[in-house]
């Protein structure tokens, strides 16, 4: 039986030893101890990931010379290195360096890339189980942390009027500017092409201006471009060639399509056609140019009164759509709410799906801001906690009659939002612990609610 191989602990050192020398000896080049292949793999991979993360965080301005620590928001020159580099170029270089580092990990462990370890039989690429164990799984690389993986195909689905287009434009601006998606989830800066076949230039202009204002973006966003009502069809060879040429010329890495139905010529219920479009047209572009596709799509209008057992069953068209997509994000609109939607992660092939979040759009005269209120359960818990605090405040201070604005002042001082306070008052009303006598006026119920209602009924009869 061959002796076990060990590797030097130092990052980047390729020295190895076998048997007892590896177990108990030291590397003759740097004096470090030896570790197992698995430990070396983890060690190198985590170091590469951390270096990549730190490098990305260093990009703090539009234009930089990192060696000289020069950071500016407009083009300029470095005395030592010439023109400052735009952060898009810097981030792309970091990514290439990271991929090279991961390849170096494979070389250190003596592991060839996947294409070199497979044996071919006819048109099949065969990987034996023993070979499978040597393949290094690539870490998840996110464009938008937890939601949009690199080189993926994503469906962004929802019914009409559920803020899909608003959300997609916000997503486009977040990626093209490197700002967090929904003000919360980090996004890497990439050039974005937005194919609009749904709204038109006038609507795009108005909404983009409002969203930029809400995100605090000033000036133009250089990495974002649009095509509107061009009649683009992915199956048209000339249109597809024009798209690929544009991708190469401008380094496009994300394409957002509003909507999927508008750019395909076939029926979306035809499984064979849908499979052919994704397999032969869309996925090859993703693989060839490292493009992530995000398709806006509609949900079914109705299911004859049936409640779907699987959320993905609500997607309109063939089930091949959900099967082929790497991720499905669904916008749901809570009942009796305005300017609010739930963002539900219906599918995520690359990682565990995110818990559903409630997002609120805050519209002002010239801006709209997206704010994540939290998970549905977190919002319920916050309202319950606020309700208990309100009731305790009323009891401790022997308050029987109060106005809404009085409670708002007290609870806001304890860091509760107006929405949470409003929900808390509704909870107390439903529980019979307070009664809303008229708009903005409440009364605390000290005895049993039934007795209070009976007293009110007698007063009404006497009058």
Q: pLDDT, tens digit, for every residue of 43-78? A: 777 777 777 778 877 887 888 888 888 888 888 998
Q: Does the residue 58 lie in any domain? A: yes
In whole angstroms, what is the distance from residue 389 CA to residue 140 CA?
43
Q: Output DSSP code: residue 282.
A: I
| 108 pLDDT above the threshold of 60 | no
List Cβ neighbours of 17 (8 Å cut-off, separation of 6 or more).
Answer: 5, 6, 25, 27, 34
Which carries the bigger pLDDT value, residue 60 or residue 201? Answer: 201
Which carries the bigger pLDDT value, residue 39 or residue 84? Answer: 84
Name the 3-class secondary structure at 9.
coil
Q: Are residues 85 and 186 in the same domain?
A: no
Q: Does the residue 100 lie in any domain? A: yes
Q: How confident is the model at residue 247 (pLDDT cuts 50, 70, 90)?
A: very high
Query: For the residues 1-16, what does the mean pLDDT come to?
Result: 75
CA 365 to chain centre: 27
Q: Are residues 265 and 324 in the same domain?
A: yes
Q: Does the residue 4 lie in any domain? A: no
Q: How confident is the model at residue 1 (pLDDT cuts 50, 70, 90)?
A: very low
What pLDDT was estimated at residue 457? 52
Q: Does the residue 23 lie in any domain? A: no
In whole angstroms, what is the distance from residue 139 CA to residue 276 CA?
29
What pLDDT was estimated at residue 19? 79
Q: Are residues 201 and 257 in the same domain?
A: yes
What is the residue range of 101's domain? 36-132
Residue 95's nearest CA partner among 136, 40, 143 is: 143
Place of tokens 């061009």: 230
What pLDDT was estimated at residue 456? 47
| 349 pLDDT above the threshold of 50 | yes
Place of tokens 């309109």: 316
What pLDDT was estimated at residue 130? 74
What pLDDT was estimated at residue 140? 72
| 125 pLDDT above the threshold of 70 | no
Which carries the bigger pLDDT value, residue 92 or residue 361? Answer: 361
CA 122 to chain centre: 40
- Count CB neighbours of 192 within 10 A: 25
Q: Are residues 166 and 256 in the same domain?
A: yes
Q: Are residues 272 and 384 in the same domain?
A: no
Bridging pattern class, strands 148-149 and 192-196: unpaired
Q: How confident is the model at residue 413 (pLDDT cuts 50, 70, 90)?
A: confident
Q: Are 298 and 256 in contact (CB under 8 A)?
A: no
Q: Are residues 162 and 239 in the same domain?
A: yes
Q: Does the residue 111 lie in any domain? A: yes
Each residue of 84-95: pLDDT tens digit? 888 878 877 777
In whole angstroms, what is the distance from residue 213 CA to residue 215 CA?
5
Token representation of residue 371: 């704010």
Choose the most confident range, by mean pLDDT, from 16-20, 290-294, 434-438: 290-294
Specify the CATH number for the domain of residue 198: 3.40.50.300
Listed in order, strand segments (DSSP E) in 79-176 are 82-83, 85-86, 119-121, 124-126, 142-144, 148-149, 153-158
Token representation of residue 449: 């609610």
What is the total count of domains within the chain? 3
Which carries the bigger pLDDT value, residue 35 or residue 399? Answer: 399
DSSP 253-306: -EEEEE-HHHH--S-TT-HHHHHHHIIIIIHHHHHHHTPEEEEEEEBPS--TTP
Q: Does the residue 138 lie in any domain? A: no
Q: Which domain-ending residue is among 111, 132, 153?
A: 132
Of 75-79, 114-118, 283-287, 406-410, which range is least confident?
Answer: 114-118
Query: For the residues 115-132, what does the mean pLDDT come to?
Result: 57
What pLDDT was estimated at residue 7? 83
What pLDDT was estimated at residue 336? 64
Q: Does the residue 186 lie in any domain? A: yes
Q: Are 314 and 346 in contact (CB under 8 A)?
A: no
Q: Are residues 96 and 159 in the same domain?
A: no
What pLDDT was estimated at residue 117? 38
What pLDDT was estimated at residue 442? 93
Q: Does the residue 190 lie in any domain? A: yes
Place of tokens 């101890």: 33
- Count CB neighbours of 463 within 10 A: 5
Q: Phi/psi at 200 (nearest 5 deg)?
A: 100, 160
Q: Are residues 327 and 389 in the same domain?
A: no
Terminal C-alpha separation, the chain: 101
| 365 pLDDT above the threshold of 70 | yes
Q: Are residues 49 and 191 in the same domain?
A: no
Q: Are residues 198 and 238 in the same domain?
A: yes
Q: Are 271 and 319 in contact (CB under 8 A)?
A: yes
CA 206 to chain centre: 24
Each residue of 275-331: pLDDT tens digit? 999 999 999 999 899 999 999 999 987 544 444 567 888 899 998 999 999 999 999
Q: Are residues 170 and 255 in the same domain?
A: yes
Token representation of residue 281: 């047209």
Q: Are 256 and 208 in contact (CB under 8 A)?
A: no
In whole angstroms, what is the distance from residue 421 CA to residue 387 CA?
8
What pLDDT was estimated at residue 124? 63
Q: Are residues 342 and 420 in the same domain?
A: no
Average pLDDT, the chain: 84
In whole angstroms, what is the distance from residue 306 CA to residue 238 CA?
43
What pLDDT was estimated at residue 182? 94
| 26 pLDDT above the threshold of 50 | yes
List Cβ neighbours of 279 (8 Å cut-off, separation of 6 or more).
Answer: 324
Token representation of residue 292: 């992530």
Each residue of 440-459: pLDDT tens digit? 899 998 764 444 444 545 55
| 352 pLDDT above the threshold of 60 | yes
């Amino acid at each position: 039986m061959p002796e076990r191989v060990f590797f030097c602990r130092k990052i980047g050192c390729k020295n190895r030893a076998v048997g007892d020398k590896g177990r108990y000896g030291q590397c003759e080049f740097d004096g470090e101890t030896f570790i197992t292949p698995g430990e070396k793999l983890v060690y190198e991979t985590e170091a590469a990931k951390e270096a990549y993360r730190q490098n990305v965080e260093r990009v703090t301005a539009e234009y930089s010379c990192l060696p000289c620590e020069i950071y500016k928001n407009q083009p300029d020159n470095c005395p030592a290195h010439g023109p400052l580099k735009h952060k898009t170029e810097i981030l792309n270089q970091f990514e290439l360096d990271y991929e090279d580092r991961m390849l170096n990990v494979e070389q250190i462990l003596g592991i060839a890339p996947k294409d070199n370890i497979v044996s071919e039989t006819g048109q099949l690429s065969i990987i034996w189980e023993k070979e499978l164990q040597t393949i290094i799984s690539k870490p998840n690389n996110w464009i938008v942390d937890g939601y949009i993986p690199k080189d993926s195909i994503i469906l962004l689905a929802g019914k009409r009027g559920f803020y899909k287009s608003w959300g997609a434009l916000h997503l486009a601006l977040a990626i093209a500017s490197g700002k967090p998606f929904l003000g919360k989830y980090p996004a890497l800066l990439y050039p974005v092409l937005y194919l609009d076949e749904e709204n038109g230039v006038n609507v795009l202009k108005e909404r983009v201006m409002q969203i930029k204002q809400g995100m605090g973006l000033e000036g133009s966003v250089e990495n974002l471009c649009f095509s509107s009502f061009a009649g683009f069809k992915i199956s048209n060879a000339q249109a597809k060639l024009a798209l690929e040429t544009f991708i190469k010329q401008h380094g496009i890495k994300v394409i957002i399509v509003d909507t999927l139905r508008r750019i395909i010529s076939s029926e979306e219920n035809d499984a064979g056609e849908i499979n052919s479009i994704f397999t032969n047209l869309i996925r090859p572009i993703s693989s060839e140019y490292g493009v992530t596709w995000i398709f806006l799509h509609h949900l079914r209008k109705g299911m004859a009164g049936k409640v779907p057992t699987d959320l993905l069953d609500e997607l309109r068209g063939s089930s091949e759509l959900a099967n082929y997509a790497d991720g499905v994000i669904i916008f749901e609109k809570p009942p009796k709410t305005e300017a609010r939607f739930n963002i539900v992660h219906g599918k995520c092939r690359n990682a565990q799906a995110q818990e559903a979040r409630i997002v609120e759009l805050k519209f002002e005269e010239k801006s709209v801001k997206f704010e994540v209120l939290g998970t549905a359960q977190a919002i319920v818990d916050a309202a319950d906690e606020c309700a208990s605090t309100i009731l305790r405040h009323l009891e401790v201070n022997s308050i029987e009659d109060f106005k809404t604005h009085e409670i708002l002042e007290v609870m806001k001082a304890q860091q509760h939002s107006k929405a949470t306070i409003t929900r808390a008052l509704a909870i107390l009303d439903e529980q019979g612990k307070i009664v809303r006598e008229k708009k903005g006026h409440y009364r605390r119920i000290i005895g049993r609610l039934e007795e209070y209602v009976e007293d009110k009924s007698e007063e009404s009869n006497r009058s």
